[in-house]
């Protein structure tokens, strides 16, 4: 009898616990849902992902009828949930406690195509102007090649306290790029000289080739040879991979971010000027500043690795002494006055690279008041071009900058209307993909 009473009491206690658990669970769901509806708490940008978050969709008859509007609301709700950054960080740390990072140390290689040999018949490319004698540069500060096998963290690899992203060669992207820039050169014939600068990412400069192959990264030198081997002879090639490798003991790439530093960009500027037969402006003609505490994109890609967080970068800038003034046109078509190099001291730790030319604006223009020879260029770029542009100011009367991802005008018309002499394409290896080239090609249509 006593046992039956005990069992009955157990059942009642269990049912009571279950009722309380259900109420608590639904209470939490309702609470989270309520928090999610608090518009003022919803973030507009992601610091760790370095991007603007999804905006609330504007309904139209077409999107409402197709259901796309409601799908977009769902995307907005999830992408802008309050405290998403803190929750993401907590989730990453929680997984690390359970060995998630250890399990992912050696992930699979990126998908990549085999790299064909360059066409031997067209690898030699004459330049329209005589080259200057190569500018003497300081001796390299030792060999900075990393020989240790990197360990995977999130979607990147870490070795020697620095991050690397894999490079996967795309034959379709390369062929589209070749056709695009050959088309540009054809349309600009007798109007302007086209220069092509293919910039390696850090893995090709700082990680030895054996380790690159071990982690499944395509050879960027072979990829560039293939592209350069198929360009029209009127296009002036500006190879920079070898010179960056020769100086890889210097601070040419950030450790926590996918961009190169201003020092890396300066070597590309020197090579461009050598191709033009012009003496590059020395670094003494620029004002140098340093801004520590930069933690870039690799940190978020690595699932917020403590190794990268504890080894922040320093953003080094070189401001032209002639002027630090520029104007840019934003995505809304508004023209704004800004600075070629902005002091990023008060920028957040993940935004300091945005100090160059106002970040990724559709169009920028810079006038050098100390040069009055009507020389001009336009740089067609993605974000790697931002650190490169300030050096051009000392070599041109006017520097135009077009970010092909956001600019909507026609390049040929722009060159003719602005009397441009030099059209400079600058792209990092990971930008040679079909989606990016499609945007570049829009400028020619």
Tens digit of pLDDT per residue, the chain (445 long)?
555 555 566 666 667 767 777 677 667 666 656 655 555 656 766 554 444 566 677 777 766 766 767 766 666 666 666 655 555 544 444 333 333 333 222 333 567 889 998 763 433 333 344 444 555 445 556 899 999 999 999 999 999 999 999 999 999 999 999 999 999 999 999 999 999 999 999 999 999 999 999 999 999 999 999 999 999 999 999 999 999 999 999 999 999 999 999 999 999 999 999 999 999 999 999 999 999 999 999 999 999 999 999 999 999 999 999 999 999 999 999 999 999 999 999 999 999 999 999 999 999 999 999 999 999 999 999 999 999 999 999 999 999 999 999 999 999 999 999 999 999 999 999 999 999 999 999 999 9
Kindly give the pairing relationship between strand 151-153 and strand 162-164. unpaired
pLDDT at site 101: 33
Q: Please report whether residue 241 resides in a domain.
A: yes
pLDDT at site 436: 96
> Among 49, 66, 84, which residue terminates a domain?
84
Q: Are residues 217 and 354 in the same domain?
A: yes
Give the neighbor-by-neighbor strand order of the sheet with 162-164: 151-153, 156-159, 162-164
Q: Are residues 80 and 171 in the same domain?
A: no
Q: Are residues 245 and 386 in the same domain?
A: yes
Domain containing residue 75 = 3-84
pLDDT at site 77: 66
pLDDT at site 104: 28
**Cβ atoms of 381 and 401 closer than 8 Å:** yes
Q: Please report whether residue 67 resides in a domain.
A: yes
> Among 62, 84, 106, which residue terminates a domain?
84
Q: Please report whether residue 47 resides in a domain.
A: yes
Residue 26, token pair as written in the block: 């639904």
**Cβ atoms of 221 and 241 closer than 8 Å:** yes
What are the φ/ψ torsions at residue 234 (nearest 5 degrees)?
Answer: -80, -15
Q: Are residues 390 and 246 in the same domain?
A: yes
> Among 69, 84, 99, which residue terminates a domain?
84
Residue 198, token pair as written in the block: 């293919």
Query: Whole-angstrom Cα distance, residue 152 to residue 164?
Result: 9
Q: Please report whether residue 94 resides in a domain.
A: no
pLDDT at site 111: 73
pLDDT at site 112: 84
Q: Are residues 78 and 213 in the same domain?
A: no
Q: Please report whether residue 405 resides in a domain.
A: yes
Q: Please report whether residue 103 resides in a domain.
A: no
Q: Are residues 400 and 313 in the same domain?
A: yes
Q: Please report whether residue 181 resides in a domain.
A: yes
Q: Are residues 364 and 273 in the same domain?
A: yes
Q: Are residues 405 and 285 in the same domain?
A: yes
DSSP state of 248: T
Following DSSP, what letter does each residue of 330-389 receive, concatenated?
A: -TTS-EEEEESB---TTS-TT-GGGGBTTSS-SEEEEE-TT--S--EEEEEESGGGGTTH
Count of domains for the chain: 2
């Amino acid at each position: 009898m006593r046992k039956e009473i005990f069992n009955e009491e157990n059942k009642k206690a269990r049912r009571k616990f279950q009722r309380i658990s259900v109420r608590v669970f639904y209470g939490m769901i309702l609470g989270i849902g309520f928090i999610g509806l608090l518009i003022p708490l919803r973030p507009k940008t992601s610091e760790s992902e370095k991007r603007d978050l999804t905006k609330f969709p504007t309904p139209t008859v077409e999107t409402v009828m197709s259901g796309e509007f409601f799908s977009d609301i769902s995307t907005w709700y999830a992408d802008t949930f309050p405290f998403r950054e803190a929750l993401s960080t907590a989730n990453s740390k929680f997984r690390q406690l359970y060995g998630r990072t250890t399990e992912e140390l050696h992930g699979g290689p990126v998908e990549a195509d085999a790299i064909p040999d360059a066409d031997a018949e067209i690898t030699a490319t004459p330049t329209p102007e005589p080259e200057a004698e190569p500018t003497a540069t300081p001796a390299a500060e030792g060999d900075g090649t990393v020989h240790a096998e990197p360990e995977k963290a999130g979607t990147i690899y870490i070795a020697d306290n620095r991050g690397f992203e894999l490079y996967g060669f795309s034959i379709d992207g390369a062929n589209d790029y070749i056709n695009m820039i050959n088309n540009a050169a054809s349309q600009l014939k007798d109007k302007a000289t086209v220069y092509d600068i293919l910039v390696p990412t850090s893995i090709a400069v700082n990680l030895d080739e054996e380790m690159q192959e071990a982690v499944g990264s395509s050879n960027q030198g072979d990829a560039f040879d293939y592209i350069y081997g198929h360009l029209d002879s009127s296009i002036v090639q500006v190879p920079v991979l070898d010179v960056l490798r020769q100086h890889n003991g210097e601070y040419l790439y950030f450790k926590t971010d996918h961009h190169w530093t201003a020092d890396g960009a300066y070597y590309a500027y020197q090579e461009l000027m050598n191709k033009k037969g012009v003496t590059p402006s020395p670094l003494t003609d620029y004002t140098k500043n340093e801004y520590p505490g930069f933690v870039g994109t690799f940190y978020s890609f690595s699932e917020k690795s403590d190794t990268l967080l504890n080894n922040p970068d320093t953003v080094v800038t070189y401001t032209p002494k002639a002027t630090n003034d520029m104007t840019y046109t934003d995505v809304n078509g508004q023209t704004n006055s800004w600075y070629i190099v902005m002091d990023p001291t008060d920028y957040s730790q993940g935004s300091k690279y945005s100090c160059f030319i106002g970040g990724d604006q559709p169009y920028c223009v810079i006038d050098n008041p100390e040069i009055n020879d009507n020389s001009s260029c336009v740089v067609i770029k993605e974000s790697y071009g931002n650190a490169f542009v300030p050096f051009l100011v000392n070599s041109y009367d006017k520097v135009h900058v077009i970010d092909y991802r956001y600019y909507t005008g026609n390049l040929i018309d722009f060159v003719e209307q602005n009397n441009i002499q030099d059209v400079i394409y600058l792209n990092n290896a990971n930008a040679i993909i079909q989606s990016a080239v499609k945007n570049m090609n829009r400028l020619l249509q």
